[in-house]
Chains A and B, each alone.
Chain A
Amino acid sequence: NAGVTQTPKFQVLKTGQSMTLQCAQDMNHEYMSWYRQDPGMGLRLIHYSVGAGITDQGEVPNGYNVSRSTTEDFPLRLLSAAPSQTSVYFCASSYPGGNEQFFGPGTRLTVL
């Protein structure tokens, strides 16, 4: 099993550009989530999904969109990148209420 995969690993954008961060898992997990990690702060939840076709907002959803058309994939879209979105982004998956959260390797995004 590949676990949770994320692409790209690194990305540099200019202000106003859009892009999609990809996340996929092969463990048939229903629950998937996106977090951002900023210096001096804990991981913060952006969006999450409890199954295909179901998504909801987390703590910091502004400027991001998600969709969940399949169990495996949960892409995160930046609509119009801003310097405040410079961060490291982690995708995670688990069974709902599961014992273990599985994290992807992260995407380091810089917005100039």
Chain B
Amino acid sequence: KNEVEQSPQNLTAQEGEFITINCSYSVGISALHWLQQHPGGGIVSLFMLSSGKKKHGRLIATINIQEKHSSLHITASHPRDSAVYICAVRRGSQGNLIFGKGTKLSVKP
């Protein structure tokens, strides 16, 4: 069983819809990262969470440490949000990350 599981694997939405991507993990962590991989392949960091909730523009990330679960929400989705969203957890104080397989999001106009 993978240590980091994401759902759904694929998601198609209409522009304007509210999107939720889920991440569950089975190991103790020091932090959880959400990353975005553009269709061209580049990867950028969106959030790092160790507790609670963070918001940046239309993106919201939450984490429940007790339930070992995190969600990434996108409000008022737009075609430019189409990308692969990757959840990754950090187990120690160093930077080593364990990655989920990603959720491919396609937002249709």
Contacts and interface: CB of A to CB of B under 8 A. Distances in A.
Interface of A: 31, 33, 35, 40-45, 48, 50, 58, 88, 90, 92, 94, 96-103, 105-106
Interface of B: 2, 4, 30-31, 33, 35, 41-45, 48, 86, 88, 90, 93-102
A33 B33 CA distance: 16
A42 B4 contact: yes
Nearest to B87: A42
Contacts, number: 64
Given A43-B86, A88-B41, A103-B42, A96 B101 contact: no
7 contacts: A41-B101, A43-B86, A58-B96, A88-B41, A97-B90, A101-B33, A103-B44
A40 B84 CA distance: 12
A95 to B, nearest CB: 8
A22 B44 CA distance: 20
Contacts of A103: 35, 42-45
B101 to A, nearest CB: 5
Cβ-closest 5 pairs across A and B: A42-B99, A103-B43, A31-B95, A43-B99, A100-B45
